[in-house]
Amino acid sequence: MSPLKALAMQPFMPFQKDDTCLMYLSEFDFTNQDPFPYAWLRPYSTWASLPGVLDCIPWTTRMHFWRQVSDVSIAASTEWWRARDFIRQIAFHMWAQPEAQTLAASGPDPAAELAENAKARIRFSVAEKNGLEEFARRLETKGVALCIFEGDVNPALYSPDRLRAKAEIREYLEELSLVSSYRFVSVDEQNLELTPLDWLDLSHLNAVGRERLTRRMAEELRSFAREMDASGG
């Protein structure tokens, strides 16, 4: 999930002191994101996280989406409102007419939409950067270590603009790690050399790619834990 979504989900993450949180972030998570991810935020809205999430979003965006801001605020206040989507989905599947279900199933292809969005002009999201910095701060307050793996996407998505965005986000994460307590593991340091054969789609690894990445993450987490123990962190 992107940093802003992770911040929204933070109250549901059962981290305890001395745990380690590992995030996999690429330029994909900081560009072309929804300016206000309303449908994603509402089911997880609580007053433990919503004020921090809203603070990360520029005030001009909040003003533009004032109805959605009001909705997620109500959702954070009452469980029934927050669960509205789940109840509506159950009702839809129980009582919807067959033709309506067929129409819903034949809606836009998520993979096609993702590809179209990925190839659009790249727009950086200040809300996602703010979200990462606030999420990291909250983890540090709880005594939870943070390790960030630089993420990647299918090389089929590479373009001059995307490669420039990748380099910019890498530099941002490296610089932020110098003033924060988190560990940043760049793609070069991972030394995985993923190819198109390791990808299931544009942004998700297949079984072979996942196994390679998971083993590398496990190695890094063991090393990170030893460093933390040695430093008394």
Question: What pLDDT was estimated at residue 110?
Answer: 56
- What residues make up the domain containing 30? 3-231
Strands 145-150 and 20-25: parallel
Taking the alpha carbons at both ends of the chain, their separation in whole angstroms is 27
pLDDT tens sequence for the chain (233 residues): 899 999 999 999 999 999 999 999 999 999 989 999 998 898 889 999 999 999 999 999 999 999 999 999 999 998 888 777 777 667 666 555 555 555 455 555 555 666 666 666 789 999 999 999 999 999 999 999 999 999 998 888 888 999 999 999 999 999 999 988 899 999 999 999 888 899 998 888 999 999 999 999 999 999 887 877 777 65
Question: What pLDDT was estimated at residue 62?
Answer: 97
Find, among 130, 158, 136, 160, the residue nearest to 62 by Cα.
130
Question: What pLDDT was estimated at residue 49?
Answer: 93
Question: What pLDDT was estimated at residue 111?
Answer: 58
**How far apart are the C-alpha atoms of 160 and 101, rounded to whole Å?**
41
Question: What pLDDT was estimated at residue 113?
Answer: 62
Q: pTM higher than 0.85 for the full model?
A: no
What is the number of domains present in the chain? 1
Question: What pLDDT was estimated at residue 79?
Answer: 84
